[in-house]
């Protein structure tokens, strides 16, 4: 190797290292979240707490005024601007400039744009209700295509979808149980964390398969070959950093929202007790 070629190699190596290790800004993290469609999906996903609560209210048959108050309390799960901000901060700490290049490169591609489009469309409440109306047909389509089922199961794990869904459901139900328990016992028992984790594990086990049906709807326009390419991308280190961050941020946010929801539930179910506490504080 000549001196000039060696010098060039050193310069290229230094530039490559610099690009790979450079910290990114919040703006760069925001761009990744926008290009991937994650920002819009997050703005929609916690709205599904409403669907979970609808099931609870239908079973409990609460008076209309209490049901309305409970629905209002679910807003605690919907501060999606805070979720996006937490994601931006986490990704700004964890992503390298080389990750940003790889991520934006994929989502700028034809397949990346197509994936982001179908995921955003399927994250809305309207789409979720449409899925519920066609569950039987979706289940039959899934049963007829074991190859597709395998792809979707793989995608679910790589994108941590069941994990995020389980965290939301666990927080909602642990909050409900905690609130009811406080109302009955007239005192907190500090078991919210244990209840949350028990619900989360239970929901995660059931969602591993149950999630495949709505995923059949979501990725209907995506071919098997395209799903394979998407899974290969999701298996990269750069993509793993993003979806790990999404799952961890949602888990923390929902856990804390569930704690607040428990307090709101207790106050709704026993307003007299709440008024007594307020009187005592005066």
- Give the residue extent of every domain in the chain: 24-281
Nearest to 167 by CA among 57, 52, 75, 54: 52
Residues in the chain: 282
Shortest CA distance to 238 belongs to which of 20, 74, 14, 17? 20
Strands (E), 14-169: none
Q: Does residue 67 contact residue 206 with C-beta atoms inside 8 Å?
A: no
Residue 217 neighbours by CB under 8 Å, 6+ apart: 122, 127, 130, 131, 134, 138
pLDDT on residue 72: 77
Strand, helix or coil for residue 23 = strand
189 phi/psi in degrees, rounded to 5 = -110, 5
Nearest to 53 by CA among 152, 171, 136: 171
CA proximity to 274, closest of 262, 282, 266, 40: 266
Residues 6+ apart with CB under 8 A from 63: none
| Consecutive 10-residue averages of pLDDT for the chain (282 residues) | 42 39 83 95 72 68 73 78 92 96 97 96 86 89 93 96 92 90 74 94 91 93 96 97 95 92 83 48 42
Give dist(CA 189, CA 248) in Å, integer: 26
pLDDT attached to residue 22:
57
CA distance 6 to 1: 6
**Exposure b/e, 169-189, CB count within 10 A at least 16 = b:** bbbbbbbbbbbbbbbeeeeee
* Residue 156 in tokens: 């679910």
Tokens of 66: 């209490």
What is the distance between the alpha carbons of residues 193 and 198, in angstroms, rounded to a whole number? 9
Please list, in sequence order, all residues whose beta carbon lies within 8 angstroms of the beta carbon of residue 163, skipping any fewer than 6 positions away: 204, 247, 251
Total-model pTM: 0.80
């Amino acid at each position: 190797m000549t001196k000039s070629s060696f010098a060039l190699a050193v310069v290229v190596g230094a530039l490559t290292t610099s690009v790979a290790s450079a910290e990114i800004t919040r703006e760069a993290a925001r761009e990744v979240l926008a290009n991937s469609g994650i920002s819009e999906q997050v703005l929609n996903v916690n709205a599904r707490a409403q669907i979970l609560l609808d099931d609870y209210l239908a079973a409990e048959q609460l008076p209309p005024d209490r049901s309305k108050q409970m629905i209002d309390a679910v807003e605690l799960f919907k501060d999606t601007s805070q979720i996006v901000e937490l994601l931006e901060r986490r990704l700004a700490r964890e992503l390298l400039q080389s990750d940003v290049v790889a991520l934006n490169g994929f989502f700028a591609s034809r397949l990346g744009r197509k994936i982001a489009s179908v995921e955003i469309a399927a994250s809305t409440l309207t789409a979720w209700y449409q899925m519920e109306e066609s569950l039987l047909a979706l289940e039959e389509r899934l049963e007829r295509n074991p190859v597709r089922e395998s792809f979707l199961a793989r995608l679910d794990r790589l994108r941590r979808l069941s994990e995020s869904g389980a965290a939301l459901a666990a927080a909602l139900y642990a909050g409900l149980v905690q609130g009811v328990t406080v109302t009955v016992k007239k005192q907190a028992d500090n078991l919210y964390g244990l209840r949350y984790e028990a619900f989360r594990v239970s929901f995660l086990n059931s969602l591993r398969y149950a999630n495949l049906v709505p995923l059949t709807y979501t990725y209907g326009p995506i071919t098997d070959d395209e799903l394979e390419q998407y899974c290969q991308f999701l298996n990269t280190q750069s993509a793993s950093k993003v979806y790990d961050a999404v799952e961890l941020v949602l888990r923390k946010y929902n856990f804390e929202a569930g704690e607040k929801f428990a307090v709101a539930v207790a106050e709704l179910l026993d307003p007299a007790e709440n008024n007594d506490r307020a009187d005592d504080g005066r």
